[in-house]
Amino acid sequence: MSRPYWKPRKPSDVTSLSALAVRVLEEPDAARKARLSHEAAALWRASNGDMPIGDIPPPDRPARPARPKLLPPAEMPRRRGQSDEARATLLHAVQHIELNAIDLAWDMVARFPHENLPRAFYDDWVRVGDEEARHFELLANRVGELGFTYGDFPAHDGLWEAAMATREDLGARLAVVPMVLEARGLDVTPAMITRFGKIGDEKSAAILNVILTDEIGHVAIGSSWFHYFCEKRALDPAESWRELVQKNFKGLLKPPFNDDARSVAGLPEEYYRPLAATLPQKQTKKRKF
């Protein structure tokens, strides 16, 4: 077993769960961030409910490495072909999403102490942070096998822009991040798995299968806590979700949708279909890998 990057040496080193969350958020090295995410989750579980939540405020933006270069989403290069570089480029894009997802999970832990949420809320988002770190590491290993490393290709900052837009509203954060952005992963990942399978890259396909299975659970966690949020405020969840998405998410939701996976995750069609963009004819054509 490799030596951990950080390990508390005495109880006073760990003051609260929010302190652990901020430690993850303030770590700029991507691999170390993933390791700290695992360690924070392990410490929280080992505390058996004795660790306080705390109220240490998270940074507005998490620390990040100098690379990759961040581009506007519209300027991102298209990922085509079957070469090692083409496959690594596609996996790198998912890897960047998973790095953002680590930070989004721990930001969820530290961002809303005033909401007086039950410990089960923190149990769930600690689990999400732990699993997102595992996804990042699986992808890092695979990208490395293809001859590349995190930062070798450009990426975009769209996920954290959504976090900034919802940083003052728990309901908006739950509506947009797990129930829109992570739900989008349920729509697009099966096609990626199929593409890798068709070219015989079973290793990459298997990793994406693991991620897809876990992400269904993450969307379900978001949906469950969004319904909790609405119940506490006597709000209609479907109506409130649509209002929050329209207010806090740029653009319309893009079909086609993976309705089955979304349903398993507690996100029924009547929520998102009214906000769906019309599918352009060109998107119905078969696309190359």
Distance CA 151, CA 217 (A): 28
Domains belonging to the chain, first-starting first, are: 82-284 (1.20.1260)
pLDDT of residue 282: 37
CA distances from 135 to 20, 87, 157 (A): 20, 17, 19
pLDDT of residue 73: 73
Task: Give me the torsion for CA of 24, 27, 32, 38, rounded to 10°.
Answer: 0
pLDDT of residue 14: 65
Contact (CB, 8 A) for 178 and 121: no
Q: Is the peptide bond before 178 cis (omega within 30 degrees of 0)?
A: no
pLDDT of residue 15: 84
Positions in the chain short of pLDDT 70? 1-14, 79, 278-289
